Structure 1
Amino acid sequence: MPDVTAPYQPGTPCWVDLAAPDQQAAIDFYSDVFGWTGEIGPPEYGGYAVCRLDDKPVAGIMAAVPMDDQPAPPTVWTTYLASADADATGQAINSAGGTVVMPVVDVMTLGRMSIAADPTGAVFGVWQAVDFPGAGIVNQHGALIWNELNTTDRDAAAAFYKAALGIDSEAMEGAEDYFALSVNDRPVGGMQSMPSALPPGTPSHWLTYFAVADTDGTVAKVTAGGGSALKEPFDMIAGRMAVVTDPQGATFAVIAPQPLNGS
């Protein structure tokens, strides 16, 4: 079922959000592409927009603005991993060789969050839910379906996520050099060495995948809206996918998944 009715297990990707220089333009773009609804939030939430699909939270979009003495965040989609205790997770991240980039903060009564980087440089968020568990709908058109770590050192990354967040990794059957990331024996994401097709020097990163009903049609909408296709639609073991950028340069993937068990 696409509706999320149970709490996210620690280590599971539970939310994604985008920092964009032009927040309203980003909301408009993703609304056109995926059918989301959303608006710039109130000042007490920093203007953060919780976008919705079928009236359920699906992703966040915020303005990429400098905070205090920090530069504006990059225009990227950030994957958040669930935690039962954000402070303890921060300590585990440091102990495992990662870096806490932004210390734990309370987000109103919604939850507690931090931003961290693994030892290979991939940035991710940590989310400890209170009133807001995360994405309320997944695995259907316009919703989050997969989160993939592309890393410059697969062994180091695997050891880190196991130690810091309890995430296991195992070679995925039928997919050469691709590893499933699992929580309690349930696949929650993927990991691979940095693809050779990416420009030299591309840093380790998490890539967000959104499910779509029609990959080619979605890519056409992306390009019509001012985005571009980094990797044109192609067929692979899990379905038909493409990698694209939005008009402000944020990269994400879209995939029309293969039906399970031939259904």
Structure 2
Amino acid sequence: MAVQPEGVPCWADAMFTDLDGAKRFYGDLLGWTFGESKSEYGNYTEAYADGKAVAAVVPPMPGQPEEEARSAWCLYFASPDAEATMRKIRDNGGDVLLEPMQVSDFGTMALARDPGGVVFGVWQSGTHEGFQAQGVPGAYCWAEIFTREPEKSDAFFPAVFPYRAKQMQAPDEAPDMDFRVFDVGDATVLGRMRMTDDFPPDVPPYIKVYFAVEDCDATVAKATERGGQPLFGPMDSPFGRFATLSDPQGATFSVIDLTNTQGEMPPMSDAG
């Protein structure tokens, strides 16, 4: 795939204390195969769907505090200049967690946190341009920011990336739903959902990553058999039938059957 435009999600990875366990779980669940773990890159291990790179798993760094080694998926946004993106992050109230770091000739990575506590990555591509497949079974297809302070994310992300925001009209059955999307050009690339009181207070704000599957219900059943925990759904939507899961090491993610859509697309309006 070509280098993604600035602000478009381009890669996802997750840290696991039990790397082999993660490989077994996601290999069984999403059909992933895995590349070689190279010690010079911290045993960073790419995952493949039908031979195309779709994600990566990595163990904690030696000596990393246990509280910082919590398993979670991290989404990376494309940047033509990671240093410039970090300056915009700081200028708009965000925190830089990892300064831009050159990774051989693959590219430059950085980690940051928005003013509401949402952690994300930035990737300036070199030879590694990011996802080699999207929207097909086993591959990334969508992501949503979940935050208790949507006003902070709504101001921050369009200030850092070239986003245009659109707000979804809340459905009659869920009048308190607060959901918007961010566009880059003509493409909708990211969602933002306000976290309600249904979320336990100890759940931090985060970005939820969606992987496409052929059958949502079968995938949920398989995940449960292999030690995962269903958190929400399966549920029908105009975007596809989806569910949210926790893997055996506590990383949250969603799966969606994009071919099984129900209902009409909700109205969207430009957000101020």
Following superposition, the deviation at residue 112 of structure 1 comes to: 0.2
Which residue identity is paired with 1:252?
F
Deviations 1:183-230 (A, max 9, x none): 123100101111332113432110001111100000111111111101
Following superposition, the deviation at residue 34 of structure 1 comes to: 0.6
CA distance in 2, matches of 1:52, 1:181: 28
Which residue identity is paired with 1:251?
T
Q: Quick check: 1:8–1:14 contact (8 Å CA) kept in 2?
A: yes
CA distance in 1, matches of 2:67, 2:84: 27
Aligned residue runs from structure 1 range 95-134, under 5 A: 95-134=91-130
Following superposition, the deviation at residue 172 of structure 1 comes to: 3.3
Aligned positions, number = 258
| 2:14 aligned with 1:13 | no
**Which residue of structure 2 lines up, in the alignment, with residue 160 of structure 1?**
156
Gap change, CA 1:252 and 1:103, over 3 Å in 2: same
- 97-106 or 148-157, which deviates more: 148-157
Aligned residue runs from structure 1 range 7-86, under 5 A: 7-66=3-62, 72-86=68-82
Which residue identity is paired with 2:111?
I
Identical-residue share of aligned pairs (%): 37
**Which residue of structure 1 lines up, in the alignment, with residue 238 of structure 2?**
237
Following superposition, the deviation at residue 70 of structure 1 comes to: 9.1
Q: Quick check: 2:241–2:260 contact (8 Å CA) kept in 1?
A: no
Following superposition, the deviation at residue 7 of structure 1 comes to: 1.6
Following superposition, the deviation at residue 54 of structure 1 comes to: 1.2
Following superposition, the deviation at residue 105 of structure 1 comes to: 0.4
Secondary structure of 1:236's counterpart equals coil
Gap change, CA 1:69 and 1:22, over 3 Å in 2: closer
CA distance in 1, matches of 2:131, 2:119: 19
RMSD: 2.1
Secondary structure of 2:40's counterpart equals helix
Gap change, CA 1:194 and 1:222, over 3 Å in 2: same
Secondary structure of 2:144's counterpart equals strand
CA distance in 1, matches of 2:84, 2:13: 23
Secondary structure of 2:219's counterpart equals helix
Q: Quick check: 1:17–1:60 contact (8 Å CA) kept in 2?
A: yes
CA distance in 2, matches of 1:259, 1:33: 19
CA distance in 1, matches of 2:29, 2:156: 35
Normalising by structure 2, report the TM-score: 0.89
Q: Quick check: 1:123–1:206 contact (8 Å CA) kept in 2?
A: yes
Which residue identity is paired with 2:20?
Q
Gap change, CA 1:71 and 1:241, over 3 Å in 2: closer
Secondary structure of 1:202's counterpart equals coil
Following superposition, the deviation at residue 257 of structure 1 comes to: 1.6
Secondary structure of 2:33's counterpart equals coil
Following superposition, the deviation at residue 91 of structure 1 comes to: 0.6
- 88-97 or 63-72, which deviates more: 63-72
**Which residue of structure 1 lines up, in the alignment, with residue 139 of structure 2?**
143
Gap change, CA 1:171 and 1:39, over 3 Å in 2: same
Following superposition, the deviation at residue 69 of structure 1 comes to: 7.7
Gap change, CA 1:232 and 1:259, over 3 Å in 2: closer
Q: Quick check: 2:17–2:69 contact (8 Å CA) kept in 1?
A: no
